[in-house]
Structure 1
Amino acid sequence: MKLVTAAEMRELDRKAIEEAGIPSLVLMENAGRTTYQILRREFPDPGPVAVAAGRGNNGGDGSVVARYLAQAGIPVVIFLVAARDQVKGDALVNLEIAARLGIEIAEVREEKDLNPLAHRLARSGLIVDALLGTGLNSEVKGLMRQVIDEINRMRPPVLAVDIPSGLCSDTGQPLGAAVKARVTATYGWPKIGQILPPGRDYAGRLWQVDISIPPELARETPAELAEAKELRALLPPRPWGGHKGNFGHLVVIAGSEGKTGAAALASEAAVRSGAGLVTLGVPASLNDILEAKITEAMTLPLPEAIGERALGMKALEPLKNFLENKTAAALGPGLGTHPETGELVRRLTRELPLPMVIDADGVNALAAAPELLKTAAGPRILTPHPGEMARFLGTTAREVQTDRLGTARKAAALTGAVVVLKGAQTLVADATGRVSVNSTGNPALASGGTGDVLTGLIGGFLAQKLDPWDAARLGVYLHGLAADYFVDQIGSRGLIAGDLLAIFPEVFGEFIRGDFPPTEEDICYKLVIS
């Protein structure tokens, strides 16, 4: 499913009108009519409806909704947060139609109008939010903010037209204040900010509405929502005559004192991914521990930094020699932050021709020289959480979270790598501007070690010859799907990283058969124009 920014949606509207020849009034009519259909499906007996309308096209959509409500005999009033003479174009056409049909239009122009508005909103059965649209790019202030605050104080549910007023279409952040809707009917394609947190919470149940914009116009749109059907086709084939040599050999370079668990989880996840062979390279003094801990993966004891149970620069040549005929590498889980280890990470990142996924302390080590990724000898995937991303880009975790889309794209452009920005609705971005928004996962994953499992899973898919973009998307999706399966079968509490390893075979089977997930519609419902 394609996802769009505000600018991309504006361009799609323009193309539909100017190139496809669809009158803008037709688009507005389709938007309002389908919103009305969703309203009746979600709220079969809404009672009196209050339409809070702005002066722009979003308000015009609201006027169309009001007309259909009135024609169905449902009491409705339009609260216009503007003067009538400020309304122009298609919005004015539909406002005047509503007036001629006898629909009450109450202007909210000054602060003194807020009390009467609040009293009538409170007596409504449903509020339709048609105040502000997707083009909003500055903080909501003044009277409009006060109206939004009043709507959020009310008990009646809210249906938002296209996007909750005040919500940024691109980041999902409220611009000063935003309406908290129970249901949102969004036009054309979902806006990225409605999928990313916290926007998903503001949008409520999201409906994608077809308003007759030709789908081919969005073919080149670079952002997408990860969906099961496409990702299922990426699973590496397992031919009947296959053997372990056909499914790649991944080398996991991980672990330091106190962090052997990260190394074990990453290597075991790689085995579960279907990689034919997995070798875990660890500091020599920790090798016996990992030999006892893991069974299916092999181990490779490596030289340590002097006086430390962490990898040192003397491990470089043994690693390069060992990796010569291997398929892929995973670097970083639990490596630690010793200066020699950091230099080893940078040399391996720059010099190894193999595809490589880099996580955790590997990403931290590269923060000192992110530019070397541009000249790396092979393709790279970075999998930072927001804190690691902040260190990598020299910013703060809060700034990362405020604009996750922009941050992921910036890191991918800076490095030339595929970037996996972990978190709710994990983002996968590449240097061309493509972005995939993951549709699986839940808060049960907020537990130490689950990121190491993801690294091993992605590394395993790299070893099975998936390209970095596909390996990252598939790994992220299945990692989240396993957590969703755990919650579905057991519950939302108590998941630990090892549980993911245990349930991967069952999850993979359900996924291949198409039995799980049962639907994508917990993210976005679809209504084809009717």
Structure 2
Amino acid sequence: MKVVTVAEMKDIERAAIEEYGIPGIVLMENAGVEVAGQIESILGILHNKKISIFAGTGNNGGDGYVVARHLHNRGAKVKVFLIGNKTAVAGDALTNLQIITNMGIDILEVTNQHDWDKVKIAMTFTDCLVDALLGTGFTGKLREHMIQVVECMNKMNKVIIAIDVPTGVDGDTGQVQSVAVKASYTITFALPKQGLLLYPGALYAGELYVADIGVPRLLVQNIAIQQNLITSGDVTNMLCKRQPDAHKGSCGKVFVVAGSRGLTGAAALAASAAMRSGAGTVTLGIAESLHDIMEMKVTEVMTSPLAEVSPGALGEEAFSEIQRLSLQSDVMVIGPGLGRHEETLPLVRRVIMTVERPLVIDADALYALIGHTSLLTEAKSVPILTPHPGEMARLVSLTAEEVNQDRIYIARQAAIEWGSIIILKGARTVVAFPDGEVYINSSGNAGMATGGAGDVLTGIIAGLVGQGLSSHEAALAGVYIHGLAGDIVAKNGMIGMIASDIIKALPAAIFGIQEND
């Protein structure tokens, strides 16, 4: 499914009106009908239900007036609170305001404290609040009077339904500068907006519905829109079905260079995840003094000792063996728990420039790229990088907070500049490609905020590449399968989930996707 920016949605609406001849008031009517229908589905029989609609003076308020009309016709007791003056309402919104005025629907202009006293009394006895204040027309910080409205709505502990985008949420980034409506449900139109899928916007949106308001299909499927949502259906078409005569040599050979003193667990998790995601064989290259430890940690994974420069740390002496083992494999992973020894970092950079297999770069290998990201353009194939926000921040000289404030933009720009696939991990993981295309993952949960979960993702992606998926496909399928495995584990509770739990759930996650084919 395509995902749009606020500007792209405006362009779609403009094209629907100007190029296809659909009057704007028809789109507003369709939007209001859809919202009213969803409210009825949520609340049940509407007869005598008390519903308060908070409307702004723009088109989002116009949608709210249409909703008021249809709810009134279905027997609900509707009150409309217009935050501002009727004289500020224009165009299609004004037409619909005049209609509900003629119908005798209760409308109160909220312009002073006395009006607010009436609002608070009405809210106390209402069954549902509807946010039709600003929609996608909001950026920056809310004004004081609007903050008062939002805070009052949130304090009422009522079902809140937001129209298009909850007031206070940036429709592009999902950021909240001051306060925002904490919606129980959000009904958005035609396509989901970025900010409804990214946190914290997704938290304020509640349960999300995408309503069809009659926008021509060619507009909502426009390939020029470069944001997408990863769904199970997308991944189903990517996964390889195992042939009856398959053998371990035909299911992919993965080579992992990982681990250092105190961080052997990361190596074990990445290698084991590659196995559990379906790879035929996995070889783990690790510093020779840690080799015996790894042989006890992993059973199905083969281990190979590599020359070390100090106990547990790799240097240039290991390069020739790494190169040899990479040529015997279909894909290579470098970085999980590898360490940051001063001689390990140049080794990583040399591997990135010379390895002739698809490459997944994670953790300490990302640290080796700080100040050296231009090397990525010299890689023999398009590398896959899997940074969390802190790692990404170091690579682009920002803070983790700044990265999270505009995840899509930063991931996209890095992918384009570095000629790489960027998987920016976090609550909603973002996958960006060098052509500017971006995908937002729809699976996963907060229980996956546990040490080692990122190492598992790295292993999954490598395992999928080994089985024949392109790096592009493996990145998308990998993040979705990773999240879905976490969702399977979370059915028994999120608290206490550990990375190895996610690994154990991988076969069930993959089977579930394939069964839905």
* TM-score when normalising by structure 2: 0.96
Q: How many Å separate the matches in 1 of 2:462 and 2:282?
A: 10
Pick from 251, 259, 265: which aligns with 2:263? 259
What does the per-residue CA deviation read over 1:9-42, in whole Å, with 9 as the maximum and x for residues that have no partner? 1111111111122111100000001100001110
- Cα RMSD over matched residues? 1.6
Deviation at 1:304, TM superposition (A): 1.3
State the Cα distance separating 1:409 from its structure 2 match.
1.5
Following superposition of structure 1 onto structure 2, how do residues 231-250 of structure 1 map, counting pairs within 5 Å?
Answer: 231-250=235-254
Aligned 8 A contact 1:3 1:224 in 2 = yes
Distance 2:230 2:14 in 1: 27
Q: Does 1:448 align with 2:451?
A: yes
Aligned mate of 2:425, from 418, 422, 425: 422
Worse-superposed segment, 84-93 or 406-415: 406-415
Shift of 1:112: 5.0
Asked if structure 2 preserves the Cα contact closer than 8 Å seen for 1:354 and 1:379, the reply is no
Contact 2:190 2:220 in 1 (8 A): no
Structure 2: gaps of 5 or more residues: none
Displacement of 1:111: 4.9
Distance 1:244 1:383 in 2: 27
Residue 431 of structure 1 corresponds to 434
Q: Distance in 1 between matches of 2:494 and 2:304?
A: 37
Instruction: Give CA-to-partner distance per residue, 1:414-454, whole Å, 9 cap, x none.
Output: 31211111112211111222121111111221221121111
Residue 106 of structure 1 corresponds to: 108
Residue of structure 2 in register with 1:68 after alignment: 70
Query: How much has 1:155 moved relative to structure 2?
Result: 2.9
Instruction: For residue 459 of structure 1, report the CA deviation from its aligned partner.
Output: 0.7
Give the 3-state SS of the residue equivalent to 2:209 in structure 1: strand
TM superposition shift of 1:507: 3.0
Alpha-carbon separation, structure 2, partners of 1:80 and 1:248: 62
Separation in 2, partners of 1:148, 1:413: 39
SS in structure 2 at match of 1:165 = coil
Q: Do residues 123 (structure 1) and 125 (structure 2) align?
A: yes
User: What is the aligned partner in structure 2 of residue 384 from structure 1?
Assistant: 387
Residues 123-169 of structure 1, C-alpha deviations (whole Å, 9 max, x = no match)? 32211110001131221112122212221222332111111111111
Q: Tell me the distance in 1 between the aligned counterparts of 2:318 and 2:114.
A: 74
Query: Is the Cα–Cα contact under 8 Å of residues 134 and 169 in structure 1 kept in the other structure?
Result: yes
For 1:171-219, what per-residue CA distance to the aligned partner results, in whole angstroms no more than 9, with x for missing partners? 1112422111111111111112112221122111111100001122122
> Are 1:180 and 2:182 an aligned pair?
yes
Residues 72-471 of structure 1: matches in 2 within 5 Å?
72-219=74-221, 220=223, 221-305=225-309, 307-471=310-474
Contact 2:337 2:364 in 1 (8 A): yes
The answer (yes or no) to whether the contact 2:431–2:439 under 8 Å persists in 1 is yes
Aligned residue identity for 2:516: G
2:489 to 486, 492, 499: 486
Residue 117 of structure 1, CA deviation = 2.1
Q: Is the 8 A contact 2:279 2:467 kept in 1?
A: yes
Deviates more, 1:401-410 or 1:352-361: 401-410
CA contact (8 A) 2:255 2:325 kept: no
Q: Confirm or deny: 8 A CA contact 2:260 2:339 kept in the other structure.
A: yes
1:18 equivalent in alignment to 2:21: no
Distance in 2 (CA, whole Å) between partners of 1:424 and 1:390 is 16
Structure 1 Cα separation of the partners of residues 230 and 454 of structure 2? 19
Give SS of 1:134's match.
Answer: helix
How far off its partner does 1:73 sit?
A: 2.7
Give the Å deviation of 1:353.
Answer: 2.4
| More off after superposition, 151-160 vs 29-38 | 151-160
Amino acid at match of 2:437: R
Q: Deviations over 1:220-279 (max 9, x none)?
A: 122222111220121123222222222222110101011111111111111122222211
Q: What is the rounded CA distance, in whole Å, between the counterparts of 2:53 and 2:508 in structure 1?
A: 48
Give the count of matched residue pairs: 513
- What is the aligned partner in structure 2 of residue 524 from structure 1? none
CA positional deviation for 1:68:
1.0
Provide runs of 4+ in structure 1 moved above 3 Å: 110-113
Letter in 1 for 2:436: G
Q: 1:16 touches 1:214 (CA, 8 Å); kept in 2? A: yes
Deviation at 1:375, TM superposition (A): 2.3
Shift of 1:378: 1.5
Aligned to 1:521: none
| CA–CA distance in structure 1, aligned partners of residues 296 and 155 of structure 2 | 59
Task: Name the aligned partner's letter for residue 21 of structure 2.
Answer: G
Aligned mates of 1:175, 1:28 — CA distance in 2: 28
Conserved 8 A contact 2:235-2:513: no
Question: Once the 2 structures are TM-superposed, how far is the Cα of residue 45 of structure 1 from its aligned partner?
Answer: 4.6
